[in-house]
Structure 1
């Protein structure tokens, strides 16, 4: 089927589910031709299928994007199946000769996009790709030898020194009309969980408006004390932008611009904004690493760590996933994750250290659990962060840095507010004992109505012994011992 008048162009949405600061949309709109927005649910194209929590988010984000497009006179066309096949069907139906898209930089997505572009070009259809997801296109920030950076600090310095922020691109007020086309209904894709609906505790507003609201709240609140506040899990000091950034509901440059504007307005110190920019830079570092090192999610970045003698501890792993390890800060984090689809960043490090070093369970199993349960699950960030804790990644924390779950809780949740929220069975226990209930006197436990082994589990492992076991295992990799460092 072809249309009368100017040929339309296809706008292929993927991980850029927004209208503002969207280079592919801006360029498509600038043609003056009808724009056909499309999202293709191609489950076979990804390195691994999206996790359950990510699917929940996608459902809501697509609904929000569809509403925004409808307000501007365009309909979001939803298709399910092979991306190239569905694009070809749309081209046949519309007569479009151009596809606008923002590139994916994960190796599999990058290669697939190139294959599709070459195939369509041979038939007279051009694919125009842009960077709408990262601060810089991978390959544009290289070290003095022309290779990718493997250490974060020089990477960040080079990134901020060489890459200029793009000019803001407002969302279009309208989009030229396009012909009516058949479209799936998002509710038919089964992205929202049923039987049971385990998402009832998800307190999120996916979509571009939700992203902007989260950014506004963060700049007005948590940013002013971000450097210290971001480590306290009971405080709302983090941006909570990670799932919005993952789905491209907001650009990283937009978040950075808002932080820098607060500095210029005198409401935030430059040091606090710089710390936030560095955190966005760490996300960028992870994405660039994955682009250059495709095996990052599956194999140790430092190959010697693939010889690590991991343990097969199914009971320990199940206790960890359910938040029943007997270590309150670990259990609180795992329960927060299951209930809300998100976990505070400081606690993510603690729970990862516990499963890797106290239980000696392969980091890939923990990464896979996070992949399925996090609304912000991101292939590059997930793999890089888990390898950072495991000591096997680029610029990683050394393996012999072993978090003590008791002292970590005492340091970052001194009053016990976080653990008592997510482990309510400990709510009446004085803060002095809340991070190590097994050390509390019997009369204190009785008064707090805590029966260890019944109301709350005893520790599934002795941390001191587990630390010694982990350091012994490290000798298999290094050939020598290390002095344990505890935090």
Structure 2
């Protein structure tokens, strides 16, 4: 029996039908399009069985499938090693074309290179597209073609290029939805892929506070942030729609979106930053890396209320307010002299919005080892941060109910820890 001739659109970090570049292009194919998502065992095997991010992905896929069912189609969801899944699909279908949106992380680049080689050996044409950023790879560079390593000139060039084309085009594929393959695939349950519901949930994003974002963003008790980051991470929102909207609403909020692309460009251009210092001069620092100290930091029992509230919020919800992230990260690297890779790995386990480029970039920024980083002698004082941004202790009391009962003694004295950190960095920085 002849195999069905089809094209595939491969969902990855773009879990939406709306304004999806690769999907828009796929639906122009002369072959019926099967939408596909693969739960990659290479990623899943390191995750806890109640990982909230897997639950959010599954929820997003179920929403997409519901939309497709209304069109007489459905989503094909597979689980396994990506390479094995594609080999199986090539046996089952006559795959003429495969469309997908680019991913710029080292693992994804390696995976996509291998998959494209397998597909092209099968005479399957592959097409990849820019979707999760406004500008990718080498689109924003210095005059000599080298990548920027300082944010402000990157931002200026980014804005100059954006303004020349604003608004960036959006991709409405609704008129082509009839090109989806007519099928009735069944999306496996969360349990069928080996996972279970988590008590931690991704919140809906909320943009109603953006007009005065710069005035309220640093105060964690106000809880008036957008909660957009997990949605950007998994592509349940379109970055083009968001940037076109933010450009007219708030410059500071737009700057945060540009920081996201700056760190993505750094990761793409300098993949060593995943595990190594961007500034190799910092390789000589002698970290204490005390495991008991690290456990106290992880559990939110350092004796510094702002640090402990942040870590407890993270452990209970998968979120942490951005101002507090800087305070807790600085405390780990500077007060405890524990290298940033330990904190980065812990955040990677816990954060609902975990994004490799931003996580690595921000941790190295705080540690002083990254591009355009805070100077090594900048050491946040957690008590001053608390007085400035949670003066009445509302945020702290929310996450530390025992706070008013006489909170524990700080595990390390600030002035001593600051002096120790600066002295350690001075000695350790390679000349």
The alpha carbon displacement at 1:30 in A equals 2.0
Mapping 1:135-154, distance limit 5 Å: 135-154=134-153
Please tell me whether residue 415 in structure 1 is matched to residue 378 in structure 2: no
User: Could you say which residue in structure 2 is the equivalent of 1:347?
Assistant: 324
User: Could you say which residue in structure 2 is the equivalent of 1:254?
Assistant: 241
CA distance in 1, matches of 2:235, 2:47: 15
The alpha carbon displacement at 1:377 in A equals 0.6
SS of corresponding position for 1:127? strand
The Cα offsets for residues 66-94 of structure 1, whole Å up to 9 and x where unpaired, read as 22332332211111122232123223322
The Cα offsets for residues 106-155 of structure 1, whole Å up to 9 and x where unpaired, read as 12312321232233223210111101111112111111111111001111
1:227 to 210, 214, 227: 214
SS of corresponding position for 1:296? helix
Mapping 1:57-456, distance limit 5 Å: 57-163=56-162, 164=165, 165-170=167-172, 172=174, 174-175=177-178, 176-180=180-184, 184-192=188-196, 199-200=198-199, 202-205=200-203, 210=204, 214=205, 217-218=206-207, 220=208, 222-260=209-247, 263=248, 268=249, 273-426=250-403, 429=404, 450-451=405-406, 456=407
CA distance in 2, matches of 1:30, 1:352: 47
SS of corresponding position for 1:146? coil
Q: Which moved more, 1:388-397 or 1:111-120?
A: 111-120
Q: Which runs of 5+ in 1 are unaligned?
A: 194-198, 430-449, 481-487
Please tell me whether residue 475 in structure 1 is matched to residue 426 in structure 2: yes
CA distance in 1, matches of 2:395, 2:79: 41
Figure out how many residues of one structure are paired with residues of the other and give that number.
424
TM-score where L is the length of structure 1: 0.82
CA distance in 2, matches of 1:478, 1:410: 32
Mapping 1:36-47, distance limit 5 Å: 36-44=34-42
The alpha carbon displacement at 1:171 in A equals 5.3
CA RMSD of aligned residues (A): 2.2
CA distance in 1, matches of 2:173, 2:320: 31
SS of corresponding position for 1:72? coil
- Please tell me whether Structure 1 or Structure 2 has the larger radius of gyration of its CA atoms: 1
User: Could you say which residue in structure 2 is the equivalent of 1:22?
Assistant: 20
**Conserved 8 A contact 1:63-1:186:** no
CA distance in 1, matches of 2:95, 2:186: 16
**Conserved 8 A contact 1:78-1:185:** no
The Cα offsets for residues 423-481 of structure 1, whole Å up to 9 and x where unpaired, read as 1112xx4xxxxxxxxxxxxxxxxxxxx14xxxx3221111111111111101222379x
**Conserved 8 A contact 1:286-1:384:** yes
TM-score where L is the length of structure 2: 0.92
SS of corresponding position for 1:133? coil
